[in-house]
Structure formats: structure tokens, C-alpha cells
Amino acid sequence: MAQTFDDRDGWIWMDGKLVPWREAEVHVLTHALHYASSVFEGQRAYGGTIFRLTDHSTRLRRSAELLGFDIPYSVAEIDAACQEVLRANDMTDAYMRPVAWRGSESMGVNPGGTAPHLAIACWHWGKYFDEEKAARGIRLDIAPWRRPAPYTAPVQSKAAGLYMIASLSKQHADARGFDDALMFDWRGQVAEATGANAFFVRDGKLVTPTPDCFLDGITRRTVMDLARKRGIEVEERTIWPEELEGFEQMFLTGSAAEVTLVQSAGPWNFEVGELSRQLQRDYDDLVNGRLINA
């Protein structure tokens, strides 16, 4: 049986101090549990260095602000806490999860005087997708749920509530034998996967959906920079599903997924090609300190 996340050795940073892993608890009437007033980050450490840590900590604070609460720690303090957690758990390569939420001081749709909390955990987490499958390219279902319009939700916040449809879509894909799902937005345009941004290749150029109703991922921007350094043109624009037939390659990007190659999305098939593999190698070299002038 896989080890559960509530029963592990180690330390979690919680509201300013390290506590034993099993003691990092919140009350059942915590506002975030009932009304999704929670934001989080997913980031990775490679060789003891947390990749683009300050960017993640900055986005965490901004995500909370978009949900109407302030995290009572500065970006620098969150950075330092993340590094403290990594050291306390004696890890150099790890996945990290900072999470902020409203507490249990009041209950109701209006969060009232609920106090903000912050916790940070880390653990060993290998490749997000099965390595053998990922080597030949994963298979995506088409999600039954769509990304909401920006006037219906705080779409630029990495908010826990916005992942409900992603979770449902991932479960749906798994049940049908797929590795993940490609999500469209409320207009029917191509958006992203359930937890990663999408890129396509045609005629040596990268094309990626404009992130106007989903996160402009930190890994997404990193890969765009890597592509431009190689002289690869990158175009952000609207992509309609009927265009997918004309794209040659596809890959996903995310802190957990890193750069993951895709062989198919619904009825559309893609080559697992050299341009995608090169950017995958470049990203791996960058995060592991082998790409110096990035």
C-alpha cells in the first residue's frame, strides 16, 4: 500500500515554525475546506536549489490577494521558509508544496475574520507521468469540463477551487485509459491540460494558447525563453480544436510535469519530434545547473 500523506516522517513548516509531519493539522471547520479559500504552489528542488523559488513565492502571495486575503509573510520570508523545509527534511531533490488558507474563526460564505495560515511541505516525487509512457509520448483524452471565463473566477490565482474541474477531468481520463486530458475553455478554444500548459509545433515554430483564462505557468515562460534562445519563434494566440490536425508535435509544461511529450490528444496524433525533445533536454539541463547561459 502506498504511503499516505498524513502518516510520514519529516517536518512541515506551519505558521512560522517547523512541526513534526504528523502534527501538521487543521480543524474540520476550516473555512478553506468548505469554501475553497486556499491557494498553493508546486515547485521543485534540484540538487538543493529550488527552481525559480522567488517567482513561486511571489505568485503565492498574489494568488492569495486575488482571493481577498494577505499572507502574513513577505516573499523573502516565504523563500527562506521553503529553504528551511528542504534542509530540515535532508532533501536535495524534492517536490515542494506551499499552501495558504483561511482558518476556522468563522463559518459562512463571507470569510469574516478568518485568519490566514501558511504551511510548506516537501517530499520525494519522481516524474509526474510514468517514465516509460512519457518517453514515447503520453495520450490525452478530451476533458468533459472547460476552463471558465475570466469574469466568472479569479483565473490568474493558483487557487485550490479552480482545480476541481481539473481533478474531475483527470479522473475521467484515467478511467478511460488515458494519461491526462486536454481542456478547452468556455469558448471552445484549446486551453491547457489538467495541471500543465500546452505547446504545439508546426513548421519549426512553437504555438501556445494565450493564457487569458488559465495560469501563465512559470515553467511555460521558462520554456518559451529557452526556445527563443535557440532562435525558435514562439507565437501566443487563440487555437481552435480544428487546427490540431495541422500541428506536427505537442508537449506539456509544468513544475510537476516539467516538459512532457504528447503522442495524441483525443482524435489528433502527433510526432514525438526532435524540436520537442531538444526543449525537454534544455529544460532538464537548466534546472539541473548544466545550462549556464540561460
Question: How far apart, in whole angstroms, are the C-alpha atoms of residue 263 and residue 117?
Answer: 41
Helices 75-88 & 53-66, crossing angle to 10 degrees?
A: 120
Element (H, E) at 259: strand 258-265
Residue 94 neighbours by CB distance under 10 Å: 21
Is position 133 annotated as part of the catalytic site? no
* Residue 118 bridge partners (DSSP): 100
**Alpha helices, H only, the chain:** 31-35, 53-66, 75-88, 131-136, 164-175, 218-229, 274-287
Within its chain, how far is the Cα of 44 from the centroid? 11
* Active-site annotation holder among 127, 158, 170, 229: 158
Catalytic residues: 158
